[in-house]
Structure 1
Amino acid sequence: MAASQTPRLKPADPAGNPAVAALAGLELPLPLAVAFSGGADSTVLLLAAAARWPGQVQAIHVHHGLQEAADAFEQHCKHVCAELGIPLHVRRVHARNALGESPEDAARNARYQALARAARDAELKAVLLGQHADDQVETLLLALSRGAGLPGLAAMPPVFQREGMVFVRPLLALSARAIREWIAEQGVLVVEDPTNTDTSFTRNRIRRVVLPALEECFPQYRETFARTSRHAAQAQELLESVAVEDLARMGGTPALTALQVLPRARQGNVLRHWLRSAHQAQASAAQLEELLDQVADCRTRGHKIRIKVGGGFVERSGERLAYRDESA
């Protein structure tokens, strides 16, 4: 870990902080928190937020306990917040991945849960996250590598709700280079996660190999990729509105005869929406295709449907589809 016990916290030119402009036009509910890891991204965000909303900003540090440096990260964050006079809340999590869930997903889910609970306990109204333009590009490339649909291509939304808390990503138009250059120029010392250099992680390989190649071939790739993600998000929003209307006409649960008169793509759209919104289940492409085939073939009362999706099964229940949780 590259950090100092006495980091420089008050740069000579705080107005040059690139995150200041990103926050300038935001009107957010106050008070709020910054998810503070002690790294460069969350440090510039914390400094900018404290300047934008004096006395209305707190910090939340999530201690994952996944590496030896975690205790030192926590101490660094405590020192920074003490020097700035910003209240700090530390939450410790021990994420265990469930069956079919990656350790990275488990850690991310545990982090969001901890951030939301800490913010609620402190009666805060929103949590700011430090993801930037390069993170957004990495997310989009990962989605493309998995053959993701529109939700994946939309990448990370600038504003979303989770665990009853509003999360905001104000730095998505800001490059990692701009953040790092300002940190270096101002002499602000931050922690460096040693796993960021581990190229066994796909994100790190993208960061070290793919992004420099994109920079050379397409210097404006951050802006153009972000535009693609915005287009995907808008298209997905439209599909969601169509799915809501289709499901409402069916009475809130998929009806077989009503599904069968819709085009296959529209059937898939409403079924994905129903599974996600009503049952927090995500069907794979293969599962959805199998389900659509079964819906098409379901022409007699004796035709049964039972397809594994997520942690349960989609089954036929009379003339409708039902979802049965496997643990129920």
Structure 2
Amino acid sequence: MEFNRDHLHDRLISLTPDSVGRYIVAYSGGCDSQVLLHALASLREHLSSPVLAVHVNHGLQEGAEQWAAHCVETCRSLNIPLETITLTLKLQRGESVEEIARNARYGAIRELMHNGDLLLTAHHLDDQAETLLLQLFRGAGLKGMAAMPEAIPFGPGRLVRPLLSFSRSQLEDYGEKHGLSWVEDESNLDPRYDRNFLRNSVMPKLLERWPSVKQTLARSASYCAEAQGEIDRIAADDLATVLNPEDNALSIEGVSALEPARQRSVLCMWIRESGFRAPNSRRINQIQSEVLGAGDDRNPVVSWDAAELRRYRGSLYLMPRLPYPDSSVELAWDGESELELPSGIGVLTKRTGHGGIDGERWRQGVLRVRFRQEGLKCRPAGRGISISLKKLFQEHGVPPWERWRTPLLFIDGELAAIGDLVVCEPFQAKSEEQGEWLVMTRQSRETAF
């Protein structure tokens, strides 16, 4: 079976919703995306929505500008609008160039998308077979072996791969038949990259022995996807029973009651749906053994990539990695303007109302903001005794990871207030008098408390 525009139209009808905002083609200028763009352009009279191409220049290759120029000329000849994005990637030692570039590319394209848009990529049958093998070599589970789905939610729209059932050779035949020109990526020949080694050295040997191996591997990936779909449905039901939607926290008791395999599925689904990349199996096992199994008096943390998972008072919390301010930091404050707190904590302001801190002492005193130090105590207004900050934080239900990030207000060198939680004697205003209250606006995060 040859590839043609009618086959593409059939796949789009099968994979896309009735209402589409725009068809956005991820256009690199290589053969695969060239064929997809050309075939889609020839279908415009059958489409109810406009077609747009987007080219991402990662700035990683010498010929990147020539690639971009080729894309401009092609889109001009096809009368298709082109959006070009230029990225500046910062690579750290030991990081995967491919992964960093891919994540940055998809992130940039996501920013361009509107509600209902479809992002079309030119991944094909050969890519699917290679992806399954790479996942097997990496010891992936079912989700990894399901390889690339044909359609998934993406940003405000969907990501669709309409060419997964067509081989690279079928796309090349289409390109030659229609006289298309494209850019050859020389890096595709570099055997240092796993996919290139697999594509250029391993797959030819497999095809010699098993000519239909690409179709067979793709079929296996589809079976894995079906099985993973069933697992996801069970995990979604389990997640609904253990999740507190108000603070996006999981009940430790509820998760612990599940079988270990279902625990792992729930944890991975919760992490992904919270906007983080799911950790590897070693980290998931660590969460099960060290976090779920920890005593009530323990506050373990498991970190990976940009995420942290913690437990507190019977719940699991997920959040970005939190930087902590130096305990020696001291911020001068005039008591009127907004005070930006360090380490992305947030902003400190004040409001006037009954009670709070005595207005005269507020206006006449020297205000300084510091952060938690060992041994500090406060005499909460009306209680008459000094209480440690740890005890006060516990009383107010402040999780341990937020205690070191809570600003402390000192007036003339004495502790006057603990964030927006407690006013200390002798700084409290009389209940019938107008005083000043601290207002702390915390930086928005995935998880609040």
Residue 63 (1) aligns with residue 57 (2): yes
Higher-RCO chain (CA-CA 8 Å, sequence separation at least 6): 1
1:50 to 41, 44, 48: 41
- Cα shift at 1:203: 0.9
Please give the root-mean-square deviation of Cα atoms over the aligned residues, in Å. Answer: 2.3
Question: Which secondary structure state, in structure 2, belongs to the residue aligned with residue 26 of structure 1?
Answer: helix
Q: Following superposition of structure 1 onto structure 2, how do residues 15-26 of structure 1 map, counting pairs within 5 Å?
A: 18=4, 20-26=6-12
2:314 to 304, 312, 319: 319
Q: What is the total number of aligned residue pairs between the two structures?
A: 310
Relative to the length of structure 1, the TM-score reads 0.86
Runs of 5+ unmatched residues, structure 1: 1-15
**Alpha-carbon spacing, 1:308–1:87, altered in 2? closer, same or farther (3 Å):** closer
Q: Is the 8 A contact 2:3 2:170 kept in 1?
A: no
Question: Which secondary structure state, in structure 2, belongs to the residue aligned with residue 41 of structure 1?
Answer: helix
Q: Is the 8 A contact 1:38 1:191 kept in 2?
A: yes
**Alpha-carbon spacing, 1:77–1:313, altered in 2? closer, same or farther (3 Å):** closer
Q: Following superposition of structure 1 onto structure 2, how do residues 1-328 of structure 1 map, counting pairs within 5 Å?
A: 18=4, 20-27=6-13, 28=16, 29-54=20-45, 56-97=50-91, 101-120=95-114, 125-252=117-244, 253-294=249-290, 297-298=293-294, 300-327=295-322
- Cα shift at 1:98: 6.4
Q: Distance in 2 between the 1:217 and 1:166 partners? A: 38
**Alpha-carbon spacing, 1:99–1:208, altered in 2? closer, same or farther (3 Å):** closer
Question: Which secondary structure state, in structure 2, belongs to the residue aligned with residue 271 of structure 1?
Answer: helix
Encode CA deviations 1:12-52: one digit per residue, 9 max, x unaligned.
Answer: xxxx7545413334234253121222211111111110112
Q: Distance in 2 between the 1:297 and 1:25 partners? A: 48
Q: Is the 8 A contact 1:62 1:90 kept in 2?
A: yes
**Alpha-carbon spacing, 1:169–1:19, altered in 2? closer, same or farther (3 Å):** farther
Tell me the amino acid that sits aligned with residue 26 of structure 1: L
Q: Distance in 1 between the 2:264 and 2:22 partners? A: 42
**Alpha-carbon spacing, 1:320–1:229, altered in 2? closer, same or farther (3 Å):** same
Q: Is the 8 A contact 1:60 1:118 kept in 2?
A: no
Q: Distance in 1 between the 2:182 and 2:78 partners? A: 14
Tell me the amino acid that sits aligned with residue 158 of structure 1: E
Q: Is the 8 A contact 1:136 1:172 kept in 2?
A: yes
Q: Is the 8 A contact 1:98 1:106 kept in 2?
A: no
Question: Which secondary structure state, in structure 2, belongs to the residue aligned with residue 167 of structure 1?
Answer: strand
- Cα shift at 1:322: 1.7
Moved more, 126-135 or 301-310: 301-310
Q: Is the 8 A contact 1:96 1:103 kept in 2?
A: no
- Cα shift at 1:174: 0.6
**Alpha-carbon spacing, 1:281–1:40, altered in 2? closer, same or farther (3 Å):** closer
Q: Percent identity?
A: 33
Q: Is the 8 A contact 1:33 1:124 kept in 2?
A: no
Tell me the amino acid that sits aligned with residue 21 of structure 1: H
Tell me the amino acid that sits aligned with residue 292 of structure 1: Q
Q: Distance in 2 between the 1:127 and 1:324 partners? A: 29
Q: Which has the higher strand share?
A: 2
Encode CA deviations 1:217-256: one digit per residue, 9 max, x unaligned.
Answer: 2222222211211121222222222122112212433322
**Alpha-carbon spacing, 1:279–1:63, altered in 2? closer, same or farther (3 Å):** closer
Relative to the length of structure 2, the TM-score reads 0.64
Shift >6 Å, 4+ stretches: none
Q: Distance in 2 between the 1:21 and 1:266 partners? A: 40
